[in-house]
Structure 1
C-alpha cells in the first residue's frame, strides 16, 4: 500500500517489468540499466548494500518518465544498425589504450541517432572489450518531454538511480548526505529538491570509487535536446571527469549522440557522422516498408527514396508513407515517382508543405500551440479539454463545452489528433505505473511531435505559417495597448506614471525583443501562443462545476476534472512566458474581476490540494497582486494598481506565509515591479507576519545585489531586525555568504557590532558559514564562494571576536568544534582567547579533540598558552574524550603533548581503567608506556585487570599480567579476577589465571 505520508513519493516502476523493479540486464559479465527491451533479469549488482532494510535511496531518484523516451523509440528494422559495432572509430573508442574516451555520434535531425543508440543498448554484450563486471548506464534526453526528461538534473538523477541500484557501496558518503537531509528536512521531492549543481559534484567525488572495481560505459542520447548552453556545459563536465581520473582507475567511456550543430566539442577525439554511414540502413528500411506492395517493391521507388533522403531517416519515413498512400489510392508508378520528386529535400520545407495542406487551420494551430508549449506533454484526456475550452466563448459550464466535436474515446481522439496534424503529432502508448504493490495508475497516452525537428520547425516557422500574418497580430496587440492605456489610465496621474503605462511596457518589451525592428518575429508568435494557453487554463478554472466542488482528494479531483491539475499549475507559467515575449497581460484582470480575489482563492485552494509540496504552491490569502509581483508581470501589475488605487486595495497586504508583493518581487529580482510598487506607495519596511523580515532581507537571502542597492537607494532600513533572532540585513548576508552584498552594506555603514537575540554576533554567523556542510539545506551552500574571505573582511572591519552566546560559547570555541581550521587561525591571529570555556567547562581544544578535528588540534597545540589537561565539569579531559570516541590518531597526538594519564573523572574512572574495560590493547600499551598505574581503581575498587577479566578482554589481560598487574587484587566486594572468571564460566581465562597461580580469594 502506498505510504500515507504525502511527502513520500510513490515507487515509480518501469511499465514493462512485471516484477515491479526498473529493468536492467544482469549478465555474468555486465550490469546494464535502462535496457530498452524491458524484459531482462533483475540483479542487485555487486558491492555493499544499503544499511537498514527500510532505506530505499534509489526510489527517491526515480521519476515516472525516466525510461519512457527509450521505450517510445521504434525498434530498428531488421538488418539495420549492425554496422556501428564494426565501425572503425567505434571499435577504436571501445578499445582505446588508456581506457577512457568520448565518442560523439553526430547527425542531421531525423537521421536515426536515437534508434541506433537504442539498438546498441539492446545487446551490450556485443560491444567490443566490454570487460568483466562493466556497468552500462544510459539516459535519453527528450526535448518534447517533461522537465526532468530534458534537463541535466534529470540526467544525474537517473544516473544516481542506476548506480545506487547496482553498486551502492562506493556511494555511501553520498547516501549518508541524502539520509541526513531526509532526517533533518524531509523527503526529497517534498520538503526539498536537489540543486542542479549538487549531483554533478557528488558524481565527481563518487565515480573514482566506482571505477576502483568496475568499468563504466555511459551512453547519452540527444544531448542537444537539453539546450545548447547546458549541452556544452555537460560536455565540459564529462571531459573534466575523464581528465581528472587517475591512471589506475578502471575504464570509463562516454558516448553521446547529438546534432552536427551546435558543435559541442571541437576537439572530440572520436566522431562518427551518421549520414556517411547509414545509407544502407535507410535502403533496408525503405525496402522493408514497401515490401507489401509488389509494384513499389519491384520498381525504382526504393532506390529513389533512399537517394533523396540523404541520410535522414525521418524524411524517408514520411515519403514512404506518402508513397504507400498513393499506391493505396491506385495511382500509377509514374505519378508516385513525380510526387516523390516534388517533396522538398529539406525537412522544414517538407513540414511546411504538410502545414499548407491542413484544412482546419485555426484548430490545427491551437493543437500545435499546445504540443509546442505545454509545460509537460499532455495526456489525451487533458488535451481533449484543452481543445474544447475556448476563452473567447461565453461558456461557464463544462457541460456546455462538451458539445464540441472531440471524441470521448481515446481511439477517436487519437485519430483526430493525427488528422489535424497531418501525422506530425503522435500519441504514445498508455503506460502502467506501479505506485506500490497494491496500487497502479494507468494513464492515457501522451501527445507529442513525432520528432524533435517537428517541434523546432513549428516554433521557428510553422506556427506563423498556420496563424496568418504576423503583422496582423502585432497591430492588434498595439491597438489593445492603446485601448487599455486610454481606458485605465487616470489623466491626473499622467505626469507621475506615464512611463509605467501598459502601452509603454508593451512598446518597451517589443523593442527589447526585436519585434518592432523585425528581428524577433518568432518571439511574438511564442508570446501569443502562451497568452492563449494561459487564458484557456484560466477559463477552465472559472467553470462553475469546479467552483462547486468540495472534494479534498487529489485523485478524485483529477478524475472528475482531467484538466484541473494542468490548468492550476501552469497558467502562471504561460502568463509569465507570454509577458517575457512582449505580449500584454492586462486582459487577465477580466478573469479575476478586477481586485476581487474569488478566482485566486479557488486557484490557491486547488493548488494546495493537488501540489501542496511544490515550491511554487501559493499560500492562503494570496492575491492577484502577489502573483503578478512574484512572477514579474509588470503590465498586469500596472493595470491592477490603477483599479486597486480606485478601490482602496492594500498594496502592502500579506499572504498567510507573511509575504508582501514587494518582498516577492525583491526575492525574484524584478526591478521594474519594485519601482512600480514603490512609486505607488508600497513600504520598504512592511514586514512579514512570521519572521517579520522586510523586502531587503529577501533580496539578500537570494543574493540579488542590484535589488539590495535599489532598496537601499529607495530608503530601506539597513538596521532592520527580524523577529526570530534579531538578525540584521548584514547578518543575513554573512550567513548566506554573499561577499559583494556584505561589502555593499559595510560601505553603507551597516553596524558590525549588533548582538542578536541568542547572544551571537555578526562575525559568529560569518564563521558558521565559512565552510560548506554536507547535509545543510541547499539554500545555505548553493553559492560557490569562499566564506573565509567574508569572515576576514568582517575582522578587517573591526568586528569584535570575544562575544559569547548564552551558553558561553565564543567564536573560537564554535569554530574549533566545527573543525573550521581557517577560521580558528584567523581568530588566533586576531588575539582570540585560546582557553575560553563554555558553560560545561569545555575549551576549544576539548571540542576539537572530541569531534576528531586533527588539523584544528594540531593548530591549537602549536600555540602558546594552551592547556591539554583542562577538565570539564564531569572531570573529562580532551584525552578522555578522544579515547571515549575511539579516535586513535587524536589520542596518540594528545598523548605526545604531555597529557596527564592519571587524571580521573568525577566517577573515579582513570583512562587505563576505561581502555582495559573496552579492550583497547593498543591504547593500554600507550598508557602504560606513559606511566599509567597498573593498580588504579574505580569507585568500586576494581583494577584494570579485573575489568579486563569481567569483560573477557583476553589480549588486554595478558598485557597487564606481563606488566606485573596484581593477580590477587580484590575489589571493594572482595572479588578477585579468578573468582569472577570461575563464577561466569570464562573457561579460557580461568585456565590462564590458574596457570599464573591465581587464587579464588
Structure 2
C-alpha cells in the first residue's frame, strides 16, 4: 500500500508545479501585447489544449495513479540512497566549464551523444552520479538546453549484489518510466495507451516488451512537455546483455528531448561503445584535489594530529601528500587508510609510527580487504563471517533486528529445542495474524528496543570496517530501523571472487538462506510490538513475507530438505485468504501476488521436505 502512497505523493508534487506553471502562463497571456488577434487566439488556443489535458487527467486520476503504482517498486531508490554523499567541496570540477569534455558544453542545445563517466574501482563514480542527480548546479547547467520546459532528472543505479529489479532491463525501464511519467503525467495516455484505455490490464505485471514499447513512445514524441536528463550508474553491474544496453543508451540519446549520462568501469565493451566520443571523463585522473581536501579535513579535526602539525608542519604536510600520491585517484582506498590513521592517532602514534602504519597498508584494494579479514580477532570471526555470508545471500542491507532474531534462535537451540524450525517458532511468527496463542513474541520486541544500539555497534566493530550502518528510507516499503550493509561494491567483488560464499557456508551449522528465512519468520511475529515499542513507521508484513519467500526460492532442494518443515507449514498457512490480506493490510493486487508466490513455491517445498504434517 505504501507504493501507492509514494506514487500519489510524487504525482501531487508534480501537479502543484504544473498548476503554478499554468497560472503563470495564464497571467502572461492576460498581460501579453499580441500584435494581432490571430496571434492572441493561437496562444489562448494552446493554453486551452493544455487545460483540457489537465482536466482529462483529473477525470482519470485513478487510472493514472494505478499505472504509476505498477511501475514503482520497493527498491527503486534503494541503491542510490545507500551511496554516500560527496564530501564537502569535492567533485566541484564536474561543474567547471574549462574542463575538457565538460558537462556544461555537453548540455548545450547544439550538443548530442552520451556523456560517459568512467574510472578505477573505488574512484567515486557512483558518488559523482548521486551528486549530479541532486545538485541544483546540474539544473543551472542545463538551463540553455531546457529553455522554458521543466527538467526531469531520471536516475537509475544498477546494483549487481541487489535484487533482480536492481540489475535488470526491467528494473531500468520501470525506474526511468516512473520518474518521467510521474513528472509528466499528461503523456501517459499516449505512452501507456493500452493500460490507459483498459484499466483492467493494470492487474497484469509489466513485461520487458511492453516497457520497451512505452519507452520508445516517449522517444517518438516530437514535443515532450519536459526535457529529460537520464543518469544511469553502474553499467558494469547490469546482469543482461551489455551490447543491448549500450545500444539502447545510444538510441535514447538521439532524441533532442533526452540527454543520457552514464557511468561504468572502463571495461572493453564500454570503452568500445563510448570511448571514442567527445563527452567523457576519467574520475581517478581528476580527484587529486578532492583527495587532499578529504585527508586534510579528517586528519585536521583530530587533536593529536593538530598537535603533531603544530610541532612539525613540514612532516605532517609531507605525510598527507604521501597518502594522496599513493591513492592514485582511488577515493575509497583513502577512506580506508584514513580510518586506520585515525585509530593510530587515538593511540597517540607519533609521525614516524604513522608513516610505518601507512607503509604497511597495501595499495591494492583486494590485498587491503584480505588484510582486514585477517585482522578480525578469532573470538569474533564466526560472527563476522556469518554477517558477510548473510549479506551476500540477502543481496540487500539487513535490518539489525534480523541479527537479534538470529541470536534468539541460537539461544533456543542451546536450550535444547529440537530443530531450527519448530512448532513454537511457527506459532510465534503467525500468532498476530491467525489468533493462535502467542508464546514469546514480546521477547524479540523487547530485545530490539533494549539491545539494538549495542548490537549494531558490536557488529560494525567486529567486521573491521567492511560493513557499515545505514537507515532505511522511511517512505519506502523497506523494514524501518538501522540496517547493515557492505561498505562498498568492491568488498562484494572481493568476497565473491575469492569464493567466500562456499568457504564461509562450510562454517555454519545450517544453510545461510534458511537461517535468514527463520530470522525473518521470527521477526514477522514481532512486528506489531516492535512498532509500538519504538514508535516507528509501521513495518510492512508483506515485505517481510516476500523476504522469507525470496530465501526459500534461492535455496537448493537439498537445503530445504535439511530444515524445511516450517516453510511447508508457513506457505500452506499463508495460502489462505484471511492470512494473505493480513487483516486488511494488503491490497487485492498484493494478495494475488502472494498467492501466486505460494503456489510457485509449494512444489519446491514439498519435494524438499521429507514429510508434511
TM-score by shorter chain over 0.5: yes
Distance in 2, matches of 1:389 and 1:563, equals 22
Which of 202, 216, 221 pairs up with 2:214?
202
Matches within 5 A, 1:141-290: 141-143=157-159, 144-145=161-162, 147-181=164-198, 183-185=199-201, 188=202, 191-209=203-221, 211=223, 214-227=226-239, 229-243=240-254, 245=255, 250-261=256-267, 263-264=269-270, 266-268=272-274, 269=277, 270-290=279-299
Which of 492, 495, 517 pairs up with 1:455?
492
1:66 alignment counterpart:
76
TM-score by length of 2: 0.72
Alpha carbons of 1:434 and 1:142: their partners in 2 closer, same or farther (altered >3 Å)?
Answer: closer
Q: Of the two, which has the highest radius of gyration?
A: 1
Per-residue CA deviations over 1:115-159 (Å, capped at 9, x if unaligned) read 222333402134265441362423141525555444333332332
Alpha carbons of 1:621 and 1:377: their partners in 2 closer, same or farther (altered >3 Å)?
Answer: closer
Distance in 2, matches of 1:404 and 1:459, equals 36
CA positional deviation for 1:320: 0.6
Distance in 2, matches of 1:62 and 1:164, equals 11
Equivalent residues of 1:232, 1:265 under 8 A apart: no
Alpha carbons of 1:124 and 1:572: their partners in 2 closer, same or farther (altered >3 Å)?
Answer: closer
Alpha carbons of 1:89 and 1:537: their partners in 2 closer, same or farther (altered >3 Å)?
Answer: same
CA positional deviation for 1:103: 1.6
Which of 556, 561, 578 pairs up with 1:586?
561
Matches within 5 A, 1:500-511: none
1:806 alignment counterpart:
none
Distance in 1, matches of 2:446 and 2:93, equals 51
Alpha carbons of 1:9 and 1:20: their partners in 2 closer, same or farther (altered >3 Å)?
Answer: same
Which of 108, 115, 122 pairs up with 1:110?
122
2:607 aligned with 1:637, yes or no? yes
SS in 2 for 1:443: coil
Equivalent residues of 1:100, 1:252 under 8 A apart: no
Distance in 2, matches of 1:275 and 1:380, equals 34
Distance in 1, matches of 2:188 and 2:596, equals 38
SS in 2 for 1:411: helix
Alpha carbons of 1:541 and 1:169: their partners in 2 closer, same or farther (altered >3 Å)?
Answer: closer
2:102 aligned with 1:90, yes or no? yes
Equivalent residues of 2:152, 2:180 under 8 A apart: no
Distance in 2, matches of 1:579 and 1:213, equals 50
2:433 alignment counterpart:
none
Distance in 1, matches of 2:520 and 2:179, equals 40
Distance in 2, matches of 1:165 and 1:329, equals 53
CA positional deviation for 1:166: 3.1
Q: Give RMSD over aligned pairs.
A: 4.4
Matches within 5 A, 1:615-764: 617-618=594-595, 627=601, 629=603, 631=604, 637=607, 640=610
Equivalent residues of 2:122, 2:332 under 8 A apart: yes
CA positional deviation for 1:112: 0.8
1:364 alignment counterpart:
384
CA positional deviation for 1:575: 4.1
Alpha carbons of 1:529 and 1:291: their partners in 2 closer, same or farther (altered >3 Å)?
Answer: farther
Equivalent residues of 2:125, 2:283 under 8 A apart: yes
CA positional deviation for 1:466: 7.3
CA positional deviation for 1:266: 0.7
Alpha carbons of 1:71 and 1:557: their partners in 2 closer, same or farther (altered >3 Å)?
Answer: closer
1:334 alignment counterpart:
352
CA positional deviation for 1:529: 10
2:156 aligned with 1:135, yes or no? no
Which of 303, 321, 329 pairs up with 1:311?
329
Distance in 2, matches of 1:370 and 1:419, equals 17
Equivalent residues of 1:429, 1:444 under 8 A apart: yes
Distance in 2, matches of 1:413 and 1:62, equals 33
Alpha carbons of 1:376 and 1:51: their partners in 2 closer, same or farther (altered >3 Å)?
Answer: same
If asked which structure has higher relative contact order (CA below 8 Å, sep 6+), I would say 2
2:45 alignment counterpart:
none
2:47 alignment counterpart:
none
Matches within 5 A, 1:599-618: 599-605=570-576, 608-609=580-581, 613=590, 617-618=594-595
Per-residue CA deviations over 1:797-824 (Å, capped at 9, x if unaligned) read xxxxxxxxxxxxxxxxxxxxxxxxxxxx
Alpha carbons of 1:95 and 1:295: their partners in 2 closer, same or farther (altered >3 Å)?
Answer: same
Per-residue CA deviations over 1:775-808 (Å, capped at 9, x if unaligned) read xxxxxxxxxxxxxxxxxxxxxxxxxxxxxxxxxx
Matches within 5 A, 1:802-841: none
1:954 alignment counterpart:
none
Distance in 1, matches of 2:509 and 2:284, equals 35
SS in 1 for 2:468: strand
Alpha carbons of 1:558 and 1:294: their partners in 2 closer, same or farther (altered >3 Å)?
Answer: closer
Which of 4, 16, 21 pairs up with 1:10?
4
Equivalent residues of 1:296, 1:302 under 8 A apart: no
SS in 2 for 1:372: helix
2:431 alignment counterpart:
none
2:87 alignment counterpart:
77
1:674 alignment counterpart:
none
Alpha carbons of 1:402 and 1:162: their partners in 2 closer, same or farther (altered >3 Å)?
Answer: closer
Per-residue CA deviations over 1:871-919 (Å, capped at 9, x if unaligned) read xxxxxxxxxxxxxxxxxxxxxxxxxxxxxxxxxxxxxxxxxxxxxxxxx
SS in 2 for 1:101: coil
Per-residue CA deviations over 1:282-318 (Å, capped at 9, x if unaligned) read 1222112111131565402211211111111111001
CA positional deviation for 1:407: 7.4
Alpha carbons of 1:617 and 1:206: their partners in 2 closer, same or farther (altered >3 Å)?
Answer: same
Equivalent residues of 1:219, 1:255 under 8 A apart: yes
CA positional deviation for 1:532: 2.3
Alpha carbons of 1:286 and 1:23: their partners in 2 closer, same or farther (altered >3 Å)?
Answer: farther
**Residue-pair matches, total:** 525
CA positional deviation for 1:404: 12
Which of 138, 146, 149 pairs up with 1:124?
138
Distance in 1, matches of 2:487 and 2:227, equals 35
1:490 alignment counterpart:
none
SS in 2 for 1:10: helix
Q: Which runs of 5+ in 2 are unaligned?
A: 22-49, 418-423, 429-439
Which of 463, 481, 486 pairs up with 1:444?
481
Equivalent residues of 2:392, 2:501 under 8 A apart: no
Which of 409, 414, 417 pairs up with 1:389?
409
Alpha carbons of 1:168 and 1:456: their partners in 2 closer, same or farther (altered >3 Å)?
Answer: same
CA positional deviation for 1:76: 2.4
Per-residue CA deviations over 1:515-535 (Å, capped at 9, x if unaligned) read xxxxxxxxxx9xx89932224
Equivalent residues of 2:224, 2:257 under 8 A apart: no
Distance in 2, matches of 1:566 and 1:170, equals 31
Matches within 5 A, 1:866-885: none
Alpha carbons of 1:537 and 1:375: their partners in 2 closer, same or farther (altered >3 Å)?
Answer: same
Alpha carbons of 1:322 and 1:587: their partners in 2 closer, same or farther (altered >3 Å)?
Answer: same
